[in-house]
Structures are given as C-alpha cells and as structure tokens.
Structure 1
Amino acid sequence: MKAILLAGGKGTRLRPLTLNTPKPIVPIFNRPFLMYQLDQLRQVPEITEVILSLNYQPRRIEETFGNGEALGIKISYAVEPQPLGTGGAIKFSAQTVQDSVIVLNGDVLQQIDLQAVIARHRAANAKATIVLTPVDNPSAYGLVETDASGNVQRFLEKPGQDEITVNTINAGVYVLEPDTLDRIPDNETYSIERQYFPSLVANGETFVAYVNDGYWIDIGTPEKYRQVHRDIMDGRYHAAPFLDRAGGIVDLGARIEQDVHIQGPCFLDEGAVIKAGARLGPYAVVGRQVQVDEQAQVRDAVIWANSVVGADAVVEGALVGRNCHIGRNTVVGGGRMLGDRSTVTDYSRL
C-alpha cells in the first residue's frame, strides 16, 4: 500500500518565513513539519512507500528527506509541472498506485489511528473514506454531513449560522480506490473537495466517514504555527522532545550562563547561547545556535536557527526566521513575523 502526502503548497499565509523554507519543512521545534506525518505513516506496516506530491521549491524538500532510507521508509517524489489542485495532484502522484491509497494533507498535524481508518474503509468495501474531525466553530470550514451509518451525504462550504447541522469537517486524510481516480482529468486543475467527493455522492458510490476525536490543527497561519508548539509543550499533542521532561524544559545542549531564569515549558536547541541575566519562557522556542544576550527576554515566541536577540531586548508572541538580528533594547511582539536575515535596529518597537 502506498501513501500520498500533499505537500505542494506555497505557504503564503506564513510569509515571509516560507519565502526560503517551503511550508512542509518549516521546523516544529527542531524537526521539519512533515517528519511528524512520516512518523505516523511508519506505524502502518503495510505502507511500503510514501509519495511526496510537490510543486513549490521541491529540491529543498527532496534534500531534506532523500529516499527515506535514513527514516526507515521508502520516499519518492511527484513534482507537478504546474499547480493542479488537490485532486489533480493526487491523480498526478498516483500513476504507480494499484491498490488502495491513503492521502494526507501536508498542512495538518493530527493524532489518528491510520490502521483503524484503513480497516473502516475495507469493512465498508468503500470507494472512498474521508476522516472528519469535530470543531468548535464549523462556520469557518466546509461541513460534511453523514447519515446514521456514517455514509457521506453532503458537503457544505462555509455555511451560515442557520445552515449548521453538524460540527464535523474534512480533516485532510482519505483512503481512495485507484479506479475512482479515472474521473480526474490528466494535467488539469481539479479539486478533490469540490469536485471528486461530490461526484461520489451524486453517483451513489460507497463513500464513508471515519470521525476522529483526537488532536487536529492546520499549521498554515502564524497563530496556529505558534499554537502547535504550545500544544506540544502542554501535552495536547504527544511528541518525543517533551515526554517526561521535568518542568517541561527541553535543553538539547545549550550554553547557559549565570543568573539565567528559565520558566517552562520551553525548548532550547543544540548550540544555543543564553547569556547572563536573560529570561526565557514560558513557551519560548530557541533554535539551533541562537544567541540570547544579557538581560534579554523571550516568551511565547519561536526563533529559528542562528539568530541573535540583543541585550535587554524583549521578544514575545513573535516568529523570527533564520539569521536575524534583533538589536539591544528592542521590543518585538504582537504576532510579528520576521523573515530570514531581518535586522531590527537598537531601541526599535515592533
């Protein structure tokens, strides 16, 4: 069985961070985002190959994962000649697929029993299975209605308050039969959500849902990107760096000088330097080789590798790219994002 990971998006909502780093490999702590999805796929023994569907900066992603040998799973690549939409990307990537294929949206982090999803698909003898997740505010998404037996009945895009009948939305995980992909035209833009799935309903084909109540988040906005770090630190999503860490403080080899105050949960990557009197946390993520100078403060912020936070500066509620320099006595907060190699001069307020 093969899996397809849809990882071709440009990550426009995370710009400028994604100008040099494709969204599929933006770091969550010290690991590329897609690594967490690959971890899930490796837990399904019958998945023998993962196909990464790419379009934006594919070479950067291929360099990150290679052929998968180091990860213990075979990885291949399907690079779209131009953006083909979600359905077109699946059709383009599935040229060698001969069995049921599992598809994951590369924007989403979730905890789910993929083997249970596959079992549901096979027990129903379904042509397609879609994973749904309940949300608090369904009006912001497209709803998916099912009958009492879990058969998909209707899709409703961004409904008004008086149209909300359920709170389940498309979670971005599917199991598809290869013979259903023939309806998708070759090398044309085609939406799996707006065209492929409604065609299954219209034709009366067996199309079932699997409702997953576990963790689910779309990391595609700055706030959600910061939130996923907080959620892992708080244990809402279980990831290895924060298992059994006293005080929620993960230190992978930072150099910490005297009189530094650290309040967990927080994360310090290898080679970080925290100078005398600095204050970190809670929810500070300090990347590899980052330097936090004397009396500086970092809270609820993600700082990528090789950046410098100057003396007496405050970074709170912000995202900072690689090789940035934040001057002394500077304040960066309020959800600000700094792209790679940004410089904020001394005494600035952002």
Structure 2
Amino acid sequence: MDTPKTGAGLAGVDIAVLAGGLGTRIRGVLGDTPKVLAPVGGRAFLGHLLDRLAAAGAQRVVLCLGHLADRVTGWLDANPAPPGLTVVCGIEPRPLGTAGALAHLRSSFHSDPVLVLNGDTFVDADLAAFRAAHGRSGAEASVLCVAVEDAARYGRVEIGADGRIQRFAEKQPGSGTINAGVYLFSAALLDRIVADGAVSLERDVLERAPPGTLNAHVTTGRFIDIGTPESLAAAADVIAPADGSS
C-alpha cells in the first residue's frame, strides 16, 4: 500500500480495510471471488496489501467483511499474515455501506487515529508521512489524495492554500487531484459516524464536512483501484514497480 520511510511508521495505529462490497462492476470477471482476493500478478490483492502494510510498520488490521466473507477468512487460514501483523475479521450482518461497516465494528478499533482504506485501492504513498502530516494538521480527519493524469472516473478534490479540502467536485475528464480512498479518522469522528447513523463515507461523512475541516495530504505516487475489469487487468503493472519487482 505504501513505500515506507521507516519500519515503525504505522506502529500503534489500527487499520480498517473496507472489503465488504458486492463488487458488481467486476463480478463478470471474478465470479464468486471477492474483490479483495482478485488475482494481481499471480497472488491475491489482499496479499499485496497486507505485505505492504506490514512493511510500513502496521501491527493490527481489521478487515471489514460482508459479501463472500467466508472466502476471505478461508484465504487467511491458508495464507498467514506477515510476521508481526495481526489480522482481525469483522463481518457485517447485511450490507451497511462503508460508514456503516465502520460503525458496526467501532469497538474493534482501539487507536486514535485509525487508518481507513478501501480494500480495492492501491496507492504508492508514504503512509508514515501521511500519519505525521495528519498529526500536525490538528484536523479530525485527513484524506490521502493523489494527482492523476485522467480523473474522469473519479470526483476531484479541490484543496485550498491551507491544505484543507474545500469541496469534492463532480467527475470530469482531464488531469486532477482525487480522493485515493485512504483516510485517517480521529476516535471522536468515528464516534460521530456511529451516532449519526452514516451509511456512506463519501456522501454522508466527507462530502457533508464543512469546507476547510478536512486535511488533504497529496501524493504523486502510483495509484489504481481494481473495481473495473480494465483497472484489474492493469493492476500488476502498477503494483510490481512499486514493490520493486520490475
């Protein structure tokens, strides 16, 4: 997930991986394989993700599962986590949405802040630097943003001179800065997500935040999400260079 500067960068930070979605756009390719287990470069995407989180100093990951959760737990039984990394599985009883999944598993997160990431997203960024920038910002939430050449699939993020997010704009073609699907949330914000009954992180939490309250941390590293057949096919070419294997 990142190219860490130091091995202790994420030590003490619980990590929530949102991996309970139905994956409807890619079901024709994956069938009954959950998106987080999609094959990328000869191994499950989750394997790449856990290895890189461990290399960044992560010690505890909570997988927020739902659709086809048994496939993921079975894969974990056959593929132990990297040394030093504990993986906990939480399963939603029904589709709850990205914010709803976090709310359902709120008691599983013990750190402040918590790193939250989409289970279908890869970004070659320094998460230790992201954590440090979040701490300096004083914000309740930070959004990892990435500059891409083609932002047509994604909503753009408009960032002020102070490094705070002014608004999330509509999808438009051309280059731009987008939300990379990686966040640092304070314990207080997680508690509010529970209290408010939020369903979608994007619509009910991020887009409703007053302008200037969310911190943005921008990277220019490699980025891909594996949510479409086309992006899944391209994922190995993005992840392998970031892993140093080509």
- Give TM-score, length-normalised by structure 1: 0.61
Q: Which amino acid aligns with 2:118?
A: N
Q: What residue in structure 2 maps to residue 295 of structure 1?
A: none
Q: Is 2:150 aligned against 1:131?
A: no
- TM alignment of 1:87-102, pairs within 5 A: 87-98=99-110, 99-102=112-115
Larger relative helix fraction: 2
Q: Deviations over 1:69-113 (max 9, x none)?
A: 542210001111111111111222332323210011111122111
Identity of aligned residues (%): 36
Q: 1:187 to 1:120 in 2, by over 3 A?
A: closer
Q: Deviations over 1:157-216 (max 9, x none)?
A: 325x7xx9x8111100000001112332469561111121133325x64x2111010000
Name the stretch that deviates more: 178-187 or 82-91. 178-187
* Counterpart pick for 1:218 among 200, 220, 225: 225
Q: Deviations over 1:231-252 (max 9, x none)?
A: 45xx6x3336x44xxxxxxxxx
Q: Which amino acid aligns with 1:122?
A: G
CA distance in structure 2 between the partners assigned to 1:49 and 1:106 by the alignment: 15
* Counterpart pick for 2:185 among 165, 170, 176: 176
SS of residue paired to 1:155:
strand
Q: What residue in structure 2 maps to residue 52 of structure 1?
A: 63
Q: Give unpaired runs (5+ residues) of structure 1.
A: 244-350
Q: What residue in structure 2 maps to residue 142 of structure 1?
A: 155
Q: 1:201 to 1:239 in 2, by over 3 A?
A: same
Q: What residue in structure 2 maps to residue 253 of structure 1?
A: none
Q: Is 2:208 aligned against 1:195?
A: no
SS of residue paired to 1:75:
strand
Q: What residue in structure 1 maps to residue 43 of structure 2?
A: 31
- TM alignment of 1:220-235, pairs within 5 A: 220-231=227-238
Q: Deviations over 1:271-297 (max 9, x none)?
A: xxxxxxxxxxxxxxxxxxxxxxxxxxx
CA distance in structure 2 between the partners assigned to 1:70 and 1:154 by the alignment: 38
Q: 1:48 to 1:223 in 2, by over 3 A?
A: same
Q: Deviations over 1:291-321 (max 9, x none)?
A: xxxxxxxxxxxxxxxxxxxxxxxxxxxxxxx
Q: Which amino acid aligns with 1:194?
A: R
Deviating beyond 6 angstroms after TM superposition, the runs of 4 or more aligned structure 1 residues are none
Q: Is 2:87 aligned against 1:75?
A: yes
Q: 1:119 to 1:184 in 2, by over 3 A?
A: same
SS of residue paired to 1:116:
helix
CA distance in structure 1 between the partners assigned to 2:29 and 2:150 by the alignment: 28
Shift of 1:67: 10
Question: What root-mean-square deviation, in Å, do the aligned CA atoms of Structure 1 and Structure 2 show?
Answer: 2.4
SS of residue paired to 2:171:
coil
Contact 1:145–1:168 under 8 Å retained in 2: yes
Q: Quick check: which has more Rg, 1 or 2?
A: 1
SS of residue paired to 2:230:
helix
Q: Give unpaired runs (5+ residues) of structure 2.
A: 1-12
Q: Deviations over 1:106-162 (max 9, x none)?
A: 111221111110000011122000011112233432111111121111112325x7x
SS of residue paired to 2:29:
coil
Q: Which amino acid aligns with 1:126?
A: A
Q: Which amino acid aligns with 2:218?
A: V
SS of residue paired to 2:242:
coil
Q: What residue in structure 2 maps to residue 12 of structure 1?
A: 24
How many residue pairs end up in the alignment? 232
CA distance in structure 1 between the partners assigned to 2:148 and 2:82 by the alignment: 33
SS of residue paired to 1:200:
coil
* Counterpart pick for 1:65 among 61, 70, 76: 76
CA distance in structure 2 between the partners assigned to 1:170 and 1:48 by the alignment: 25
CA distance in structure 1 between the partners assigned to 2:220 and 2:190 by the alignment: 28
